[in-house]
Amino acid sequence: MKRLELWLYIAQRGSALVLAPLVLLHLAVILYAVSGGLSAGEILGRTRASLVWPATYGLFVVAAAIHAAIGLRVVVGEWTSWRGRSLDVAMFGFGLLLLLLGLRAVRFIA
Amino acid sequence: MRHHPSYRAFLAHRLSGIALALFLPVHLLVLGLAVETAALDGFLDWAAQPMVKAAEAILVVLLALHMFGGLRLLAIELLPWSDRQKDWIGWAAAAALAVGAGFVLRSLA
Amino acid sequence: MTGTLRVEIWRGAEDGRFEAFEVPTQPNQTVLDLVTYVQRKLDPSLAYRFACRVGVCGSCAMTVNGTPRWTCRTLVRKVAADGRVRVAPLRNLPVIKDLATEMAPFFDKGQEARGRFIPSDPSAKAVATIPPEDPKRKEADGGIECIGCAVCYAACDVVAWRPEYLGPAALNRAWTLVNDARDGDATGHLQAVAEDAGCHACHAHQSCAEHCPVGLNPARSIAGLKRLVILAALRGQL
């Protein structure tokens, strides 16, 4: 693809813009839930009450999969000697794995 | 050559990013495996142990650090240049530690 | 003033070693003075580069005690760690011999970044009028007067990790041209810095700005290029 690096960079920053508010929300949820001693039933009762939670966390999973795969590709390319097509394929696989694992977990709270 | 604040900010961002990227598949896998309420309750009991809580606190700080540091990077790259971007490094670190402190206090409460 | 200083100088090409010399100290001595003394009095076979000796030409940059510097304007007393100075060739460039590096990759990247003025009207007779308060003129102002010493290039870890990266100086030059009202090819400059080794590879370490001897901020210029390149790419103008 022409200008692959530039488009990956744009996807990286774009996903970061999506992630920032979602991470803030996630941190708020963590801080809220950690002291409550909530049971699994209570947690799932709340997440399943509305589509907002699964939809929000679904978006979180998609953005995180994109962001982590692109970021890790840059790190590996700069800090190891692994570059090129095989790295691209491996990192695409890593992103796909995150997406599938994440969507499975989100389906559980829906 | 690397002894200046913005380089250290880069290192913090990169190392926290690597840690989060490696933790993420485990996190999602465990959540996805706890497909039953009973299994999730068992997991929550396990996660209530002090050592697990401490590890969680570190992850929370890394996540906050990566997010606040990332906001600084987005501001540098997407907004007009500001020489105050160096001060933002301190604010991002302070905010991440505050979130971590909040997590510890809330989990002790 | 009496006394001597232990000066360790890189000898050989890529696979060389440091050789120690004792150099008499002088008040207000520069690192370039040390190297010149060694070449003139102790070992005429020492290879190094300099021209103006007053911080204008940008040819005398070397690595001094691990930090890239312009040696003609670097006072020994400011850098001599425990009475010792270690001088090596610039990082991120092939070593030809001793302190002389092959500068071609550095200058080639200036061309690769399309860092040359493309006149919008080659037949223009009148001098273009650009008000000093013009915002683009101000942006360009922050990047001009680069002396091409390659200190930023040597200080940049992204260049070290990704050798094809255009580097701070070339991108800084492109930024001044994008903001030059007389330049007629802003899109061409942006296309050049949007290639795979372009501005988006920068991680804002800002070592370039930390080390620039004339106080430029290439990181700021690169951030500006990133904004323009993102907008141009999203608008399909690249």
Cα–Cα dist C168/C188, whole Å: 18
Tens-digit pLDDT string for chain A (110 aa): 789 999 999 999 999 999 999 999 999 999 998 887 778 788 888 888 889 999 999 999 999 999 999 999 999 999 999 999 999 999 999 999 999 999 999 988 88
Q: Nearest CA to C220 among C235, C206, C236?
A: C206
Collect all residues of chain B within an 8 Å Cβ-Cβ radius of residue C224: 81
**Phi, psi (deg, nearest 5) at residue C63:** -95, 115
The domain locations on chain C are 4-101, 104-234
| Nearest 10 degrees: Cα torsion B41, B44, B49, B51 | 150
pTM: 0.94
CB neighbours of B57 closer than 8 A, spacing ≥ 6? B100, B103, B104, B107
> Contact C205/B10, CB-based, under 8 Å?
yes
- CA atoms of B33 and C135, how far apart (whole Å): 57
| Cα dihedral B97, B103, B106, B107 in deg (nearest 10) | -130
Nearest to C161 among A7, A10, A79 (CB): A79
Domain CATH code at residue A31: 1.20.1300
- Domain containing residue B56: CATH number: 1.20.1300
B8, closest residue in chain C (CA to CA):
C205
Quickly list DSSP for C181-215: TTBS-HHHHHHHHTSTTSGGG-----HHHHH-TT-
Instruction: Note the ipTM here.
Output: 0.93
What domain count does chain B have?
A: 1
Residue in C closest to B79 by C-alpha: C227
Contact: C223, B77; criterion CB under 8 Å: yes
Q: Which residues of A touch C156 (CB under 8 A)?
A: none
Residue of C66, C155, C204 lying closest to B6 (CB–CB): C204
Buried b (16+ CB within 10 A) or exposed e, C132-145: eeeeeeebbebbee
> What's C104-234's CATH class?
mainly alpha
Query: Using one digit for the tens of pLDDT, what is the confidence trace for B69-81?
Result: 999 999 999 999 9
What lies within 8 Å, CB to CB, of C189 at 6+ separation is: C113, C114, C118, C174, C177, C178, C183
Chain B hits for C193, CB-CB cut-off 8 Å, are none
Contact residues on chain B for C219, CB-CB shorter than 8 A: 6
Interface of C with B (CB under 8 A): 66-68, 155, 157, 203-207, 210-211, 217, 219-220, 223-224, 226-227, 230
Torsion (CA) A15, A19, A21, A24 in degrees, nearest 10: -160
Number of structural domains found in chain A = 1
- Band (pLDDT 50/70/90 cuts) for residue C1 is low
**What is residue C61's three-state secondary structure?**
strand
- Looking at residue B46, what is its pLDDT? 85
- pLDDT tens, position by position, C126-170: 888 999 999 999 999 989 999 999 999 999 999 999 999 999 999
Question: Cβ of C233 and A4 within 8 Å?
Answer: no
- What value does the mean pLDDT take over residues C25-34? 96
Which residues form the domain of B38?
5-108
pLDDT surpassing 90 at residue B61: yes
pLDDT grade for B36, boundaries at 50, 70 and 90: low
Judge contact between C38 and C9, C-beta under 8 A: yes
Q: What is the mean pLDDT of residues C86-108?
A: 98
What residues form DSSP beta bridges with C84? C6, C81
Is the pLDDT score of B13 beyond 70? yes
In whole angstroms, how far apart are CA B87 and each of B50, B92, C74, C215, C217?
35, 9, 29, 20, 17
Predicted local confidence at residue B108, as pLDDT: 86
Which class is C4-101 in CATH? alpha beta
